[in-house]
Every structure is written in structure tokens, then in C-alpha cells.
Amino acid sequence: MKLLLKEHTEKLIEQGRATSAAQLEGANEPDHMPVVKLFTPDAGCTWLISELDPDDPDLAFGLCDLGVGCPELGSVRISEIESVRGVFGLPVERDRHFTADRSLSAYADLARENGRIIA
């Protein structure tokens, strides 16, 4: 399964451009909605991705949970996520049914309260 479809990539880059523009202007960065949820079916890892760097589309930003009780906001390479395998060797999948219902910061707050991403 392809992790990011064309429409995901376009939206993620659009949101990355908005963040870059805000940074250049010294304005508050937008609190984007996650576009995709990625997960390992056999390892408890989850990523909610909200943007891609427009200059380096392999570099994503989102909420990352490696299944050890410490979800955090940060950058991650899509190519690294693609290389992850779980206990039974299964690759990362995209949750085809995921639709964000809150901002990334709201997901992060909820994840900190629960020790894992709730999405």
C-alpha cells in the first residue's frame, strides 16, 4: 500500500507552505488538522502527519507515537516510516478510514493525557 496518495501529498505540502510562510512573517504557525494516520498493525506505532516540507517532501511533521507511552510532536522522514517493520515483519499502513476531527495540537494534548495517540 502506498502510504501517501497524490491528494495527501498535495495537502501536506500546502500545509507545509502555510507554516513556512508564517515562520517567515514572524506570525503564529497554523495548527493544522492531520491529513493522514499511519500505523504498524503489529507494533503499536502511530503517526498523525499534518505537513510536508515543501523543499524536502520526504520530511514530515506530525504527532509520533512509537508505542512506548511518550507521544510527541516532531519531524520524521516518510522514507524512515516506510522502512519500519513490526514484530511479525508487517509494514506500516495508512488508515484509509481516518478523518481528522480536531487539530494536531488537540490530538497531542489528548495523547499526552492517555500516553498514546487516540484517533
pLDDT single digits (tens) 36-69: 999 999 999 999 999 999 999 999 999 999 989 9
Q: What pLDDT score was predicted for residue 51?
A: 98
Q: What is the pTM of this model?
A: 0.95
Backbone phi, psi, residue 8, to 5°: -65, -50
How far is the C-alpha of 15 from the C-alpha of 50, rounded, in Å?
A: 7
Q: What pLDDT score was predicted for residue 110?
A: 97
Q: What pLDDT score was predicted for residue 2?
A: 87
Q: What pLDDT score was predicted for residue 108?
A: 98
* Residues of the chain above pLDDT 70, percent: 99
Q: Half-sphere exposure of residue 75, counting CA atoms within 13 Å on the CB side?
A: 8
Strand 36-39 vs strand 46-53: parallel, antiparallel, or unpaired?
Answer: antiparallel
Q: What are the residue ranges in the chain where pLDDT is below 70? A: 1
The domain locations on the chain are: 6-114
CB 78 within 8 A of CB 4: yes
